[in-house]
Amino acid sequence: MTQPTQPVDLRALDLFAFCRKGESLAGNVAVRDLPRILAETAAQAPASAPDETFAFAATGFVREEAAEPGAPVAQRLFLDVTVQGRVWLECQRCLDPYAESIDTATRFEVAESDEAADAAPMDDDEVDVIAGSKRFSMLDLIEDEVLLALPVAPKHDVCPTVHESLVTGSDGEAQPEAEPEEEKRPSPFAALAGLKNKH
Ligand SMILES: [Zn+2]
């Protein structure tokens, strides 16, 4: 594992060389440099939200192995990426902003091209295949990782308003799941699935 000898352009990294040399890099990227995360950020988020950063680490490596049993042994390129930080989202229950923690760790196989990535077998659940490039945007990949980690239905674990009402309860003990009404309501996705099935 070696550090790149030259300053790295996160928007134009030679990903093939990065993996072949077994390089690694780590750093921080600001939310303001990730437009798709900014778009997801709650309107009522603290003014400092765009200045918050994600810590990331990326390590490339090579394995000499067959892509599948019986295939000739070849050099396969891999990339491990971790991203940690938080995104200010709007709680769907109380509509207040809250910070959703992000902590991802993903292994990618780096294909030679878009075509090779598309042709890769889809049976390996543990490794996503991405198309490599000599001008690869690590920034885009980090942004993708954060977007994939976002919840479909963002919510506080316990909404501040719900929490206060529980505190005034007679026994003073907070109940972990005090949302019977919401549980009964079908989710929008369940409703969609129902529509699909009718066709
Ligand atoms: Zn809430």
* pLDDT of 160 higher than 70: yes
Question: pLDDT tens-digit profile of 40-65?
Answer: 999 999 999 999 999 999 999 999 98
- Tell me how far the alpha carbon of residue 78 lies from the centroid of ligand 1, in angstroms: 39
For 41-62, letters b (16+ CB in 10 Å) and e give bbeebeeebbebebebebbbbe
Q: Compute, in angstroms, the gap from residue 56 CA to the centroid of ligand 1.
A: 28
| The pLDDT of residue 121 | 75
Please give the distance, rounded to the nearest whole angstrom, from the Cα atom of residue 51 to the centre of ligand 1.
23
Share of the chain above pLDDT 70, in %: 75
Kindly give the distance from the C-alpha atom of residue 111 to the centroid of ligand 1, in angstroms, as a whole number.
Answer: 42
Cα 149 to averaged position of ligand 1 atoms, centre (Å)? 19
The residue count for the chain: 199
pLDDT of the residue at 198: 44
Q: How confident is the model at residue 8 (pLDDT cuts 50, 70, 90)?
A: confident
CB distance 88 to 47 below 8 Å: no
The average pLDDT across 131-142 equals: 97
Query: Which tops the pLDDT comparison, 162 or 198?
Result: 162
Examine the pLDDT at 127 and tell me if it is beyond 90: no
What is the pLDDT, as a whole number, of residue 166? Answer: 54
DSSP bridge pairs for 105? 82
How confident is residue 19, by pLDDT bands cut at 50, 70 and 90?
A: very high
d(CA 153, CA 176): 18
What separation in Å is there between the alpha carbon of 161 and the centre of ligand 1?
7
Is pLDDT of 115 > 80? yes
**Distance in Å, CA 31 to ligand 1 centroid:** 22
| Residue 118 pLDDT | 86
Residue type (1 letter), 39: A
Which pLDDT does position 183 carry in this prediction?
Answer: 47
Helix then strand then coil, % of the chain, to nearest 5: 30, 30, 40
| Residue among 135, 75, 88, 84 at smallest CA distance from 106 | 84
pLDDT attached to residue 29? 96
CA of 84 to the centre of ligand 1 (A): 22
pLDDT category of residue 2 using cuts at 50, 70 and 90: low
Rounded CA gap, 127 and 103, in Å? 17
Å from CA of 194 to ligand 1 middle: 28
